[in-house]
A and B are shown apart, each in its own frame.
Chain A
C-alpha cells in the first residue's frame, strides 16, 4: 500500500471538462470516498489513476513514483467496476485465484490457496468456491469481483460504485464489511459513489466533486457539520438540509451578509403553538418506519425535519420554530462562520 496523489490533474472530452485541476492526496491506509452526481468526474478520476485515461495536464504519483506516463499494468492498482466482470467459464475459486496466477508473481499453489480462502471468507463467498461464476446471484457476483481485487495487495484499490447494483440490505451489509476489511488490511482505497450514505459511513475523508472540481475534502463529520458552501451542505443529510431565506424565521441572530440559513433537524426546535403566535403549520407526517419526516410550511417555504417515531404532531398543527446555531451562507453561497 502507498500514498497516492493527484497534482493539478485535468481531463477534457471534447467540450466537456470532466476533471478540472484536481489536486488530492490519499494517505497510505486511508479510505477516501469521492461523492458527486453523475457527470461530476468521479469515474474519470479513477480511470486517470488506473491509467485507463491520460490526463491533459497534471501528474499522478503512486508511492513516490510519477506514473503519469506509465501503462496501467505497471501502476500496481486494482480496479473494481460498477458492473461485475467475472470470467464466466471459471469457478469462483478460479476467478479469485486468477490475478495471483500471473507468471510475474511466481506464487506456489499452496500460497494461492491460502490467500483465496482468506479472501473468500472476508467477502463471505467461501461456501460457493466451486460454483461457476454465472450461477451466482448479483450480490454474490459482486462479492467475487471485490474479492478478486482484494487477493492482490496493490498500492491502491480503486472502486467505482461497486455496491450500486445490489439490493438495499446486501448493500448495508457489504458497506460495513468493506470498511472493516479495509481497516483490517490497512489498505489505501479510493471509492467513488453518488450515495451519500456510503460516503458518510465508510470514508475516513470525503471529497465532494462537482463539475470536475474538488469542492471540499474532509472527514464525514467535518463535511456534515462544517460544509464550505451551499452545494456541499445540500449533498449530505437525510432529509436534506432546509435552505431558507435569512428573514424567514424570527430571532435568527444571523451575521451580516447572510442570505441563506441552512437548518438541519438538529438546528430546529419545533413545538406545538400554545396559543397566539405560530411560525408554521404541519403539512403531514411521513412515516418511513425507522425515520419519520415532519413536513412543515413556513410562509411560502417547505421544511422537512426528522421527528420521533411516536411523534404527537398531526397534520394541520400550528407550530413555533426556533433555530439553534444553524449554518449561515452569503449571497454567493459560501459559508459564513463566526
Chain B
C-alpha cells in the first residue's frame, strides 16, 4: 500500500475547468472520500489518479513515484466501478482468481491468494458456487474480492454503492469500513452521499465546481465547515442559515438576529458592516418560550427516536432535530434557543467561515493551498 500525493492537479475540457488546482495527500492506509454534487470534479479527479484521464497540469505521486503520465495498467491500482460486473459463467473462485491469472501468476499461488482473500471477506464457503445464484451482497463481496486479490497499491472506488437499496447500502457501508479496518488499504472513494462519507472516511475532501472547498476529518467538516457550501452540503437536514447584519468586532460574544440577541462563540476577526449568516445545526436548536427569536411550527417529521421540526421564522424556514416525545401542533408559536459553543458564523458574500473562539486553527476559506 502507498501514499497518494496530488499536487496542483488541473483538468480542462475545452473552456470548462473540471478540476482546479487540487492539492491533497492521502496517507498510506487511509480511507479518503471525495464528496460533492454531480459535476463537481470528483470523478474526474479519481479518473486522473487511475490514469483514465491525463491531467492538463499538476502531478500525481503514488508511493513517492511520479505516475502522472503513466498508463492505467502501469500504476498498480484497482478500480472498482459503480456496476459490479462478474463473469456469469465462472464460479466465485474463478471470478476472483481471474486478475491473477491474467498477470500470469502460478496456479498454486492463485489458489492460496484467492482463499486468503475469500476468508477476509467471509465468502470462503461460497468459493465453488456459481456467481449467478448469489444474493446481491455476496455478489458485491465477490467483486470486491476480485479487486483486493491483486493487492494493489491503492483502491479507487466510484460510487460503488450507488444503485443499492437504502437498507442494503447501510449494511455495505459498515462492511466496507470493517474490511478497511482489517486490511488498511489506501482507498479513494467517490460519492455524493454525505452519510456514506461520514460513515467511512478518515479524511474527506468536499468539492464544488472543481474546487476543494474543505479537506479534513468528518468531525472537523461537520462541526467547523469552512464555507457555507460545505455547511449546506453536509448534514441531514443541513445547517440552517439565519441572516444578520452590521459590523463585527473582535472579542464580541453576541449578535442580533431578527431583533433577538444571540450568544455566539467569541468572534476573532473585525468586519465592516456587511451581510452575515449565523449557521445552526438542527440538533443544536431547542424550543424555549422565553426566547425572543420566534417562529411557528410548519411541519414535523417523525423519525422514531427524534423528530425533525420545520419552523417558519421571519427569515425563512429553520429545521430543528428534537426528541420525538415533545408534542407539537402545526401553527403553534415557539421560541428558539441555540447551543452557543456549536454555532458557526459566515460572511455571506464570500461564503467563508468567520474565525471564532471554537474554530481558531481550523482552515478558513477554500483549501486551495
**Interface residues of A, Cβ cutoff 8 Å to B:** 37-38, 167-169, 172, 175-176, 179-180, 194-197, 200-201, 220-221, 224, 235-238, 240, 264-266, 286-290, 306, 309
Contact partners of A38 in chain B: CB under 8 A: 165
Q: How far is the CA of A176 from the CA of B119 in the complex (A)?
A: 45
Report which of B170, B234, B299 forms a contact with A289, defined as CB distance below 8 A: B234
Q: Chain A nearest CB: distance from B138 CB in Å?
A: 16
Check if B85 is an interface residue, CB within 8 A of chain A: no
B304, A175: Cβ atoms closer than 8 Å = no
B304, A194: Cβ atoms closer than 8 Å = no
A265, B282: Cβ atoms closer than 8 Å = no
A176, B301: Cβ atoms closer than 8 Å = yes
Contact partners of A264 in chain B: CB under 8 A: 304-305
B303, A197: Cβ atoms closer than 8 Å = yes
A168, B194: Cβ atoms closer than 8 Å = yes
Q: How far is the CA of A180 from the CA of B223 in the complex (A)?
A: 31
Given A176-B310, A180-B299, A201-B302, A286 and B165 touching (CB < 8 A)?
no
A289, B305: Cβ atoms closer than 8 Å = no
Q: How far is the CA of A194 from the CA of B163 in the complex (A)?
A: 13
Report which of B232, B233, B281 forms a contact with A290, defined as CB distance below 8 A: B281
A290, B282: Cβ atoms closer than 8 Å = yes
B236, A286: Cβ atoms closer than 8 Å = no
CB-based nearest A residue for B223: A289
Given A194-B165, A221-B302, A288 and B199 touching (CB < 8 A)?
yes
Contact partners of B63 in chain A: CB under 8 A: none
Given A237-B305, A287-B218, A167 and B192 touching (CB < 8 A)?
yes
Contact partners of B199 in chain A: CB under 8 A: 286, 288
Contact partners of B168 in chain A: CB under 8 A: 37
Contact partners of A235 in chain B: CB under 8 A: 167
A-B contact pairs, 29 of them (CB 8 A): A37-B167, A38-B165, A167-B37, A167-B192, A168-B236, A169-B237, A169-B238, A172-B236, A172-B237, A176-B301, A179-B299, A194-B165, A195-B166, A196-B166, A196-B167, A200-B302, A200-B303, A201-B301, A201-B302, A201-B308, A224-B302, A265-B305, A287-B198, A287-B222, A289-B194, A289-B223, A289-B234, A290-B283, A309-B342
Map CB proximity to A onto B236-269 as digits: 1 under 8 Å, 0 otherwise: 1110000000000000000000000000000000
B299, A176: Cβ atoms closer than 8 Å = yes
Q: How far is the CA of A288 from the CA of B204 in the complex (A)?
A: 13
Contact partners of B238 in chain A: CB under 8 A: 169
B303, A201: Cβ atoms closer than 8 Å = yes
Interface magnitude class on chain B: 35 or more
Q: How far is the CA of A179 from the CA of B310 in the complex (A)?
A: 13
Q: Classify the secondary structure of B's interface with A.
A: mixed
CB-based nearest A residue for B281: A290
Considering residues B194, B301, B304, which has the most beta carbons from chain A within 10 angstroms of its beta carbon?
Answer: B304
Check if B183 is an interface residue, CB within 8 A of chain A: no
B198, A289: Cβ atoms closer than 8 Å = yes
Given A176-B310, A265-B305, A287 and B192 touching (CB < 8 A)?
no
A194, B299: Cβ atoms closer than 8 Å = no
New contact pairs (5) apart from A287-B198, A287-B218, A289-B198, CB-CB < 8 Å: A167-B37, A169-B233, A200-B301, A201-B301, A286-B199
Contact partners of A236 in chain B: CB under 8 A: 304
Check if B235 is an interface residue, CB within 8 A of chain A: yes
Q: Chain B nearest CB: distance from A1 CB in Å?
A: 21
B222, A266: Cβ atoms closer than 8 Å = no
Q: How far is the CA of A179 from the CA of B199 in the complex (A)?
A: 29
Q: Chain B nearest CB: distance from A25 CB in Å?
A: 23
Q: Chain B nearest CB: distance from A306 CB in Å?
A: 6
Report which of B165, B282, B299 forms a contact with A37, defined as CB distance below 8 A: B165
Q: Chain B nearest CB: distance from A211 CB in Å?
A: 15
Contact partners of B368 in chain A: CB under 8 A: none
CB-based nearest A residue for B217: A287
Check if B274 is an interface residue, CB within 8 A of chain A: no
CB-based nearest A residue for B166: A195
User: Closest 6 A-B residue pairs measured CB to CB?
Assistant: A289-B222, A201-B301, A288-B198, A224-B304, A287-B219, A194-B165
CB-based nearest B residue for A176: B299
